[in-house]
Amino acid sequence: MQKKGDIIDGETLIVLINYGSASASEIVAGALKDHKRAIIMGESSFGKGSVQSIIPLKNKGAIRLTISKYYLPSGQSISKIGVIPDIEIFEKSEDFKLNTKTDNQLNFALKLLNG
């Protein structure tokens, strides 16, 4: 399943993402995917593709203003879309715990790496 570009220094790189992956983690995963430097696995990320600033108002209220948007090297925005993994693996239940036997995304990635 290994493709040209999926390795770094001879090692396969798999990045796990899910709906909890947002902001910087989405940008890193998306950039690695765009540059074909890693296999992205899991569920689509959150889609937090903007930087917002809160501007206080004189009436003690405030305004939240989007001041910047994140784009991947391909030019695609991640806002509201997120990063779509190369291999989709959905968690089997809400009761899963990271790095345990119930973490089927990690277990699939380890199986893929170890053959």
Q: Which one from 6, 23, 79, 103 is the annotated catalytic residue?
A: 23
Burial of 86 (0-12, 13-18, 19+ CB in 10 A): middle
Task: Report the C-alpha gap between 51 and 5 in whole angstroms.
Answer: 31
Active-site residue among 21, 33, 44, 48?
A: 48
CA distances from residue 55 to 49, 69, 70 in whole angstroms, order as listed: 19, 18, 20
Q: Does residue 34 carry a catalytic annotation?
A: yes
Catalytic residue among 6, 25, 34, 103: 34
48 as an active site residue: the answer is: yes
Q: Residue 23 catalytic?
A: yes
Distance CA 15, CA 42 (A): 8
Torsion sign, CA atoms 77, 78, 80, 83: positive
Residue at token pair 């809400």 = 94
Give catalytic residue positions.
23, 34, 48
